[in-house]
């Protein structure tokens, strides 16, 4: 079974988890990179990023190296922005034709995961969901625990997919 980890990360938390999953189960990895990234810092980043979510923006991404449709298992990871997945993930979901895949979802947040996983499931109909996991601020407070959890979860998802 071929597995890929597709993710977006603005500040590195989701990247840490994505790389951990990829290394643990030897999956390919694809980072979503918007052509125009947020430049704001501090509070302004929440205003700018949050408004992108509210306006349902799908920012243009740099071309992807791999096609998720070629894989059996797709891990998708996002930071939580305004209680849902970040805009580059919206672009990815809108531009891909993902069906009959085994999907595992993960997120990083600071306490409010919202309805993110049900939003994913609404967009990814006709797929099998293996599981989901969310991480609270891995880089700031829980790095080692989060990495251990991510490794265990990745193995569990792979076992479930077989």
Ligand X SMILES: Cc1cc2nc3c(=O)[nH]c(=O)nc-3n(C[C@H](O)[C@H](O)[C@H](O)COP(=O)(O)O)c2cc1C
Tokens of 56: 């349902």
Of 63 and 111, the one with the shorter C-beta distance to ligand X is 111
Residue from 23, 57, 83, 121 that binds ligand X (CB under 6 A)? 83
81 binds ligand X (CB under 6 A): yes
Give the number of other CB atoms < 10 A from CB of residue 102. Answer: 21
**What crossing angle do the helices spanning 42-54 and 87-95 adopt, rounded to 10°?**
30
Tell me which residues in 33-62 interact with ligand X (CB under 6 A): 45-46, 49-50
Span between the terminal Cα atoms of the chain, in Å: 8
Dist CA 100 CA 120 (whole Å): 15
Instruction: Choose the stretch contacting ligand X; rule: CB under 6 A; options: 6-14, 24-32, 66-74, 123-131.
Output: 6-14
Tell me which residues in 121-150 interact with ligand X (CB under 6 A): 137
Answer yes or no: are the C-beta atoms of 7 and 31 closer than 8 Å: yes
* DSSP letter string, 11-42: SSHHHHHHHHHHHHHT-EEEE--BSS-----H
Of 83 and 129, the one with the shorter C-beta distance to ligand X is 83
105 binds ligand X (CB under 6 A): no
Of 51 and 95, the one with the shorter C-beta distance to ligand X is 51
Residues found near ligand X in the complex (CB under 6 A):
9-15, 45-46, 49-50, 79-83, 108-112, 114, 137
């Amino acid at each position: 079974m071929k597995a890929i980890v597709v993710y977006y990360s603005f500040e590195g938390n989701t990247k840490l988890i994505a790389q951990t999953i990829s290394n643990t189960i030897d999956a390919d990895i694809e980072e979503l990179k918007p052509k125009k990234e947020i430049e704001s810092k501090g509070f302004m980043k929440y205003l700018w990023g949050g408004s992108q979510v509210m306006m349902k923006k799908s920012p243009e991404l740099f071309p992807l190296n791999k096609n998720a449709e070629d894989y059996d298992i797709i891990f998708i990871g996002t930071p939580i922005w305004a209680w849902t997945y970040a805009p580059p993930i919206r672009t990815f979901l809108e531009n891909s034709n993902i069906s009959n895949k085994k999907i595992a979802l993960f997120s990083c947040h600071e306490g409010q995961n919202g309805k993110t996983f049900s939003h994913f499931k609404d967009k990814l109909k006709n797929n099998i969901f293996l599981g989901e996991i969310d991480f609270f601020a891995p880089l700031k407070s829980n790095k080692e625990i989060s990495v251990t959890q991510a490794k265990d979860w990745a193995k569990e998802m792979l076992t479930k997919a077989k």
